[in-house]
């Protein structure tokens, strides 16, 4: 209760200081006697006294409360065991991802513009590892809110000892 009273006191004191500064400024600019218009301005200052802090508090709370929700469940990779679709060999995956562009903008190699990334990814595939394609809808999956604007993501996951250890994305959206 004491904290509430202190808060209200600070609030009213801040408003009074604001009004006092505005009134001094107003009197320095206009040296006329008090008129009917000045009575209207007192009403404005009274409203400001009552509303200045809630307006500022609302603006601050809006910026604080609308931060992206951080999921309590974090995972390093998008692919999960539930999102794995089909197992492939390195050669099968490479063959599946050759795109034949009639305009020649995409090189006719596995994974096109991502060919170098594919080669680096492929280096990590051991003889006991499994290569799986995956599809996941990032909009409805907890733990990956940071990527939720990508929509459906397709790619390949490197699975070692029943755990995803690396992945490469092929399509998003």
What are the residue boundaries of the structural domains of the chain, listed by start? Answer: 2-65, 81-172
Distance CA 81, CA 31 (A): 79
Which strand (E) or helix (H) includes residue 18? helix 2-29
| Token reading at 173 | 């959206």
Q: Which of 142, 170, 146, 166 is nearest to 67 (CA)?
A: 146
Q: What is the pLDDT of residue 79?
A: 86
Distance, in Å, from the CA atom of 78 to the CA atom of 141, rounded to the nearest integer, reads 9
- For residue 85, the model assigns a pLDDT of 95
pTM value is 0.56
Mean pLDDT per 10-residue section of the chain, whose length is 173 residues: 66 72 70 54 67 69 62 70 92 90 88 92 92 88 70 91 91 84
- Of the CA atoms within 13 Å of residue 83, those in its CB half-sphere come to 23
Would you say how long the chain is, in residues? 173
Which pLDDT belongs to residue 36?
42
* CA atoms of 173 and 156, how far apart (whole Å): 16
Reduced to 3 states (helix: H, G, I; strand: E, B; else coil), residue 157 is strand
* pLDDT recorded at residue 171: 87
Ramachandran class of 104: left when φ > 0, alpha when ψ lies in -120 to 50, beta otherwise: left
Residue 173 CA to residue 153 CA, distance in Å, equals 6
| Residue 111 Ramachandran class (φ > 0 left, ψ -120 to 50 alpha, else beta) | left
């Amino acid at each position: 209760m004491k904290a509430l009273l202190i808060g209200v006191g600070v609030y009213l004191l801040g408003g009074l200081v604001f009004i006092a500064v505005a009134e001094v400024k107003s009197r320095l600019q206009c040296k006329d006697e008090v008129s009917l218009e000045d009575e209207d301005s007192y009403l404005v200052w009274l409203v400001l006294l009552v509303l200045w802090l809630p307006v500022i508090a609302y603006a601050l709370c809006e910026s604080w409360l609308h931060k992206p929700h951080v999921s309590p469940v974090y995972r390093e990779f998008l692919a999960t065991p539930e999102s794995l679709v089909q197992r492939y060999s390195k050669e099968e995956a490479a063959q599946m991802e050759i795109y034949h562009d009639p305009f020649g903008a995409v090189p006719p190699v596995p994974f096109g513009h991502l060919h170098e990334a594919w080669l680096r990814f492929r280096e990590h595939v051991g003889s006991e590892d499994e290569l799986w394609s995956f599809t996941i809808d990032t909009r409805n999956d907890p733990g990956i809110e940071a990527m939720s604007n990508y929509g459906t993501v397709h790619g390949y996951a490197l699975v070692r000892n029943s755990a995803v250890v690396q992945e490469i994305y092929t399509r998003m959206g």
